[in-house]
Structure 1
Amino acid sequence: MHRNPRAVLRAAVAALLRPAAATAPSAASRQALPKATPAPTLAEWRPLPAAALPGSGSRRAFSSSAADYGKDVDEVNRKFAEAREEIEAAMESKETVYFNEEASVARDAANEALAAFDALLARLPPADADSLRRSMGLKMEQLKAELKQLED
């Protein structure tokens, strides 16, 4: 069962705000700390095996091919961010002489991001495609809606 985060925060703040004399342990209650072991020298140091590193287990974004598709997902995210920036720039230039050009650039960027997302979904195995659709599908729908707002 999880603790109430507000209660935990209140207790932490209360402990921090107490006077130092009230929270300092007496000399009788202090225990001797164990001596620290010296750090290994450079000659003794050996890297950990990959299996021992944090996050190297089975908790991956995509089950079998995270390394294969990670760069492609990053590329789709980059194109998405670029398209949003272009749409924002076009919206700011609404009712100016630059709007048509800005809107055209924004449309091209958004269509490129959507096409990259669809191409990536087509290449992924079904389980990974579903996972990607769940994690990025709403962003792509948001991009479509913003593009539609631009057209209005």
Structure 2
Amino acid sequence: MPPRTHLSLCKFITRHPFRPSSKPISPIPIKPITTKSFHPFCHPTTLPPSRFNKPLYPQFNICRSYNVETDKVVDEINLKFAEAREEIEMAMESKETVYFNEEAECARAVVKEVLEMYAGLLSKLPEKERGGIQRSMGLKIEQLKAELEQLNE
């Protein structure tokens, strides 16, 4: 730092000292954690009812309301989704090389598998759960289809 700038900075700091800021006010109610109110192995549904356990904005409360088996399938689809995106990315990187066709076929196969898993899950679910799955995963599936279309161009 040049000396002139250093002096200017020192003068500025001495003329305008740091003042303590006011305590920030949070719109979220904060309850201090005590040993009585928090147990690390306690599931949130077993906590005693209080206003702090209720969601602040219930209309934005997104929770999975489906069963454990559906949860496992959703997790498998999410893992395959990540794998499919990586395959598409590798194929896009190898565009205009001799390896492109192999990479593209591999990516198409993984995307096809993801779409089949998703369609199979939706066909097995009742209407209410199907809507929840479509809301939570539909955009990802559409994104995957769009990326595959980019690959095909």
Smaller-chain TM-score bracket:
0.5 to 0.7
What is aligned with 2:78?
77
Alignment partner of 1:114 is 2:115? yes
Alignment partner of 1:61 is 2:63? yes
Say whether the 8 Å CA contact 1:60–1:66 is kept in structure 2.
no
Instruction: Mark the CA change 1:53 to 1:122 in structure 2 (over 3 Å): closer, same or farther.
Output: farther
Provide the C-alpha distance between the structure 1 equivalents of 2:44 and 2:90, rounded to a whole number of angstroms.
45
Instruction: Mark the CA change 1:18 to 1:92 in structure 2 (over 3 Å): closer, same or farther.
Output: same
Provide the C-alpha distance between the structure 1 equivalents of 2:20 and 2:42, rounded to a whole number of angstroms.
44
Say whether the 8 Å CA contact 1:62–1:128 is kept in structure 2.
no
Q: Which runs of 5+ in 2 are unaligned?
A: 1-17, 24-33, 54-60
After superposition, what is the alpha-carbon deviation per residue over 1:48-78, rounded to whole angstroms, capped at 9, x for unaligned?
57741498xxx77343x33231111110011
Instruction: Mark the CA change 1:18 to 1:113 in structure 2 (over 3 Å): closer, same or farther.
Output: same
Aligned match for 1:52, one of 46, 52, 56: 46
Task: Give me the CA root mean square deviation.
Answer: 3.4
Aligned residue pairs total 115
Provide the C-alpha distance between the structure 1 equivalents of 2:145 and 2:69, rounded to a whole number of angstroms.
27
Instruction: Mark the CA change 1:128 to 1:92 in structure 2 (over 3 Å): closer, same or farther.
Output: same
Instruction: Mark the CA change 1:60 to 1:137 in structure 2 (over 3 Å): closer, same or farther.
Output: closer
Q: Structure 2 length normalisation: TM-score?
A: 0.62
Say whether the 8 Å CA contact 1:84–1:143 is kept in structure 2.
yes
Alignment partner of 1:132 is 2:126? no
Give runs of aligned pairs for residues 84-95 of structure 1, distance below 5 A.
84-95=85-96
Instruction: Mark the CA change 1:101 to 1:75 in structure 2 (over 3 Å): closer, same or farther.
Output: same
Provide the C-alpha distance between the structure 1 equivalents of 2:152 and 2:134, rounded to a whole number of angstroms.
26
Q: Which runs of 5+ in 1 are unaligned?
A: 1-16, 24-36
Instruction: Mark the CA change 1:48 to 1:126 in structure 2 (over 3 Å): closer, same or farther.
Output: same
Percent identity, please: 52
Instruction: Mark the CA change 1:19 to 1:143 in structure 2 (over 3 Å): closer, same or farther.
Output: closer
